[in-house]
Amino acid sequence: MVLPIHIYGDPILRERTQPVQADSPELQQLLDDMVETMHAASGIGLAAPQVGRRERVFVVDLTPMQEELEASGEVLAPMPMFFINPEIVEATPTRCSMEEGCLSIPDVRELVERPEGVVIRYLDRQFRPQVLEAHGMLARVIQHEYDHLEGILFIDRLSAFRRQLLKRRLRDIARGQVSAEYPLALSRV
């Protein structure tokens, strides 16, 4: 089922998520719904708070970028990927800037500097412990979605000057003055 995506201004996007205690049919349904929602919104990552949930999970699917990533030498892991109770345990000192956007902040894209690579520990969909060393686009998406689990939005990583320039647009989004090609859960701000 495609779920409505919560947008900037909704308090759930600023809350830290809670660890998942056990596998369940409800969790598996949430993961399926998140993948379906991400695909319907033409996204490449989606975290539970973006669909109004507090579980510490996110999903990633870079398949839409496969040709571009392979041309740049990146090898895709099987997609979609499921990250349950993730923890970033290491980040490379090398940083890079890349334009980011977010399904919860429609039509806003900005350059964000992040580590080029990360090591993340997590449970996969079958609740098996995994450790992944990710670089490039996969590392970027993992960091972006991980931030959502911590109540951090990509705009928080911008300079005060850039955030000031976005102030009016963000206020409009928080007031529900926004449209998207996917269902939105409009804020009550």
CA distance 9 to 131: 33
Residue 185, CA atoms < 13 Å, CB-side half-sphere: 19
Residue 74 has pLDDT above 60, yes or no: yes
- Say if residue 144 carries a ligand binding annotation: yes
User: What are the tens digits of pLDDT across the range 155-167?
Assistant: 999 999 999 999 9
Q: What is the mean pLDDT of the chain?
A: 95
Asked if the model's pLDDT at residue 189 lies above 50, the reply is: no
The band of 128, judged by pLDDT with boundaries at 50, 70 and 90, is very high
148 is in an annotated binding site: yes
Question: Which residue among the candidates 67, 99, 145, 181 is catalytic per the annotation?
Answer: 145
pLDDT of 172 over the 50 cut: yes
Long-range pairs, 80-83, Cβ under 8 A, ≥24? 80/35, 80/38, 81/124, 82/31, 82/57, 82/124, 82/125, 83/57, 83/58, 83/59, 83/120, 83/122, 83/123, 83/124, 83/142, 83/145, 83/146
Does the annotation count 145 as an active-site position? Answer: yes
Domains of the chain: 5-185 (3.90.45.10)
pTM of the model: 0.94
Please state whether the peptide bond connecting residue 80 to the residue before it is cis, i.e. omega within 30 degrees of 0. yes
pLDDT at residue 187 in the model: 56
Per the CB < 8 A criterion, the answer to whether 3 and 51 are in contact is yes
